[in-house]
Structure 1
Amino acid sequence: MAPHSSLGLWTLDEAEGSLRQSMARLVVPTRGQRFHQISQPVNDWLKSAGAGDGLLTLFLRHTSASLTIQENTDPDVQADIIDALDRLAPEGDGYRHHLEGPDDMPAHIKSHLTGVSLQVPVIDGQMDLGTWQAIYIVEHRKGQHQRTVTLHYLGT
């Protein structure tokens, strides 16, 4: 990609290389209700896939956890977000769905509010995240789980 004038815009130069895509699945063990950073294994995968410039899509294959881009320096931010989500969808609030335990339906609501997919630009083979940003799986359940993220890269 070449920079476009002084606006900081980028355009894809087809002569530099053709578009290609790569896909993989990242399995992440989670340990309770908290943020689990996955930025490093995702960047490692981009490197192994030979990524250049393009777009990365991440999709979490679960309905009781979510994906987010969030503050990576002060852990109080993550704790405050967990607390706020607990206030929005508390356990024991008279939910009809309760077959998988009292934390399951609140986890579905939290996942619905926060989302299960992200799109991140990739420049020179790395995610173009801000200085204080990282990608996290947010586990909304209390127990241990295996969460799977499908990664899809499209670019040069």
Structure 2
Amino acid sequence: MSPFTTHVLRIATGRAETVTDLTDACADFLSGAAAGRDGLLNVFVPHATAGIAVIETGAGSDDDLLTALHHLLPADDRWQHRHGSPGHGRDHVLPALVPPHATLPVVNGRLALGTWQSVCLVDTNKDNPDREVRLSFLG
């Protein structure tokens, strides 16, 4: 086994703001890449308008996150970065609040997440419906 393995996920987020759960895709990747070993999983989105969050999903927290981002980063004409959809400049500020990466512990080949934690792609950019997420295991 190589101490470093990487894989790119291609995610279609569509034309709406989304929180996409990547936890199962991370687990699938680790089943082969980690093969029972301890290490670190880095999740990275190489886009200037998306981020990675570790949050609870399915109980409304994902929608709450999008609502909070709307309050913090309104989609209006206040932004100096003005190409694309109205308010698109806020999408370029998003990675300062929801970083484009997360590094997570892997124990015995599995993500060591808390009971309610999920790894999610946060994408508020309605102009870019196709995303890549790089998963890298070091162990």
Return the TM-score normalized by structure 1. 0.80
More displaced 10-residue stretch of structure 1: 107-116 or 142-151: 142-151
The answer to whether the Cα contact below 8 Å between 2:85 and 2:127 also exists between their aligned partners in 1 is no
Give aligned pairs, total: 137
Which residue in the other structure is 1:94 paired with?
A: 78
Could you say what the CA RMSD is over the residues aligned between the two structures, in angstroms?
Answer: 1.7
Q: State the Cα deviation string for residues 7-45 of structure 1 (Å, max 9, x = none).
A: xxxxxxxxxxx9711111111111320210011011101
Which residue in the other structure is 1:68 paired with?
A: 53
1:146 corresponds, among 99, 124, 130, to: 130
Q: State the Cα deviation string for residues 78-114 of structure 1 (Å, max 9, x = none).
A: 1111111111111224222111221421111122211
The answer to whether the Cα contact below 8 Å between 1:29 and 1:144 also exists between their aligned partners in 2 is no
1:25 and 1:138 mapped to 2: Cα distance? Answer: 17
Identity among equivalent pairs (%): 28
1:103 and 1:24 mapped to 2: Cα distance? Answer: 32
1:56 and 1:120 mapped to 2: Cα distance? Answer: 5
2:67 and 2:75 mapped to 1: Cα distance? Answer: 12
Moved over 3 A (4+): none
Residue 83 in structure 1 maps to residue 67 in structure 2: yes
Which residue in the other structure is 1:133 paired with?
A: 117
The answer to whether the Cα contact below 8 Å between 2:45 and 2:132 also exists between their aligned partners in 1 is yes
Which residue in the other structure is 1:5 paired with?
A: none
1:146 and 1:114 mapped to 2: Cα distance? Answer: 18
Runs of 5+ unmatched residues, structure 1: 1-17
More displaced 10-residue stretch of structure 1: 111-120 or 143-152: 143-152
Q: Which amino acid aligns with 2:124?
A: H
Counting only pairs closer than 5 Å after superposition, residues 50-61 of structure 1 correspond to structure 2 as: 50-51=34-35, 52-61=37-46
The answer to whether the Cα contact below 8 Å between 1:66 and 1:115 also exists between their aligned partners in 2 is yes
Of structures 1 and 2, the larger Rg is shown by: 1
Higher strand share: 1
The answer to whether the Cα contact below 8 Å between 2:55 and 2:118 also exists between their aligned partners in 1 is yes
More displaced 10-residue stretch of structure 1: 144-153 or 28-37: 144-153
**How far apart are residue 50 of structure 1 and its match?**
4.0
